[in-house]
Amino acid sequence: MKEELLEIIQKQLEISEIQAIEAVRGGDINEAFRLSTPNKNYFIKRNSASQFPNMFEAEAKGLQLLSETKALRVPKTLAQFDFEDDSLLVLEFLDFANPNRDFWPKLAEGLAALHKRTNEYFGLDHHNYIGNLQQSNRQHQSWADFFVTERLEPMLKMGLDQGEIHKFDLGLFDRCFSLLDDFFPPEKPSLIHGDFWSGNFAMSTKEEACAFDPAVYFGHREMDIAMSKLFGGFDPEFYKSYEHFYPLEQAWEERVDMANLYPLLVHVNLFGGSYFAQVKQILKSYD
C-alpha cells in the first residue's frame, strides 16, 4: 500500500505505530488488508475512486443503518477517504470463529430484528452498490414496481449492453414482469441486508452473529431469505428459527426463484453469462 495512504490512516486514527500491513482475503471486488498496531488491528478496503465513485461512502452508510437496529454485530466504520484515485474504507477488525450450533438461531433472530425495521417506501434515500455494480434505490410505494424498475430492468439492460443477454430472451422477462403485481405477499418495506449470502456473515470469537458488506435498502424481506438459498442454503436451523421470530407468509419457498432473479442477473453482469442459464430456467418455469 502507498506510503501516503498509510500516513493518512495513521493520522486519522491517531495511530502511533504500525507494526504490519498484509493483504487478506476480501472477496472479488476490493483489495483488502489487515493493519496491525500494538493495541488493535484494522480492516482496510481499497478500490478505485474514479471507477466506483462513492462506493465506500455508501457502504459506510449501510453499515450505520444496520448498526442502528442493534440486530446484528457489524464492524464500526473508523475512516473513509479518497486520495488521488484510491478510495479507502477503514473498519474495526472482527475476529471470527467457526459457527457453533447456537449460531444459526442467533443469526436468524438478528435478521428477523433487522427486517422488523420498516419504512413507508421501498428503496432508500441514497443509491449504493451491490458488488461493484451501482444499485438504484429510487423510492416506490409498490414492491412490484420497485423490483422491476430499480432491480431487474437495470441489470437486464446492462446484460444486453455487455452482450451477455440476447434480445430474443426479452419476451421471457415480459411474461415474468406481468406476474409480479400479485406474486409477492403485501408487506411493509423491511430494512434488508441486500447481499445476504454465506460470504457476508460470520460468528465472532465472542459468539456474536456478524454481518458485513451490505447492499441495504428497504425491500421485501423475502429477498434476503431467497438469497440465503442461492448457493445451497444455510443450516435448516436458520430457517426454523427465523420462522419462530418473524413467520413468513405461506408458500415462501415457491417465491425464492423469482426473488433470486436479481442476484443471478447481478452475477451475469459481474462474472459472465454462464449464470444466465439459471435465469432462463427460472423464467421458463413461469412461462
Contacts of 92 (CB under 8 A, 6+ apart): 42, 43, 75, 76, 78
Q: Closest Cα to residue 25, out of 16, 17, 13, 33?
A: 33
Task: Record the cell numbers describing residue 185, joined without a space.
Answer: 405477499
Q: Which residues are catalytic?
A: 195
The side-by-side arrangement of strands in the sheet containing 96-97 is 96-97, 201-204, 209-211
What's the burial of 67, exposed, middle or buried (CB within 10 Å: 0-12/13-18/19+)? middle
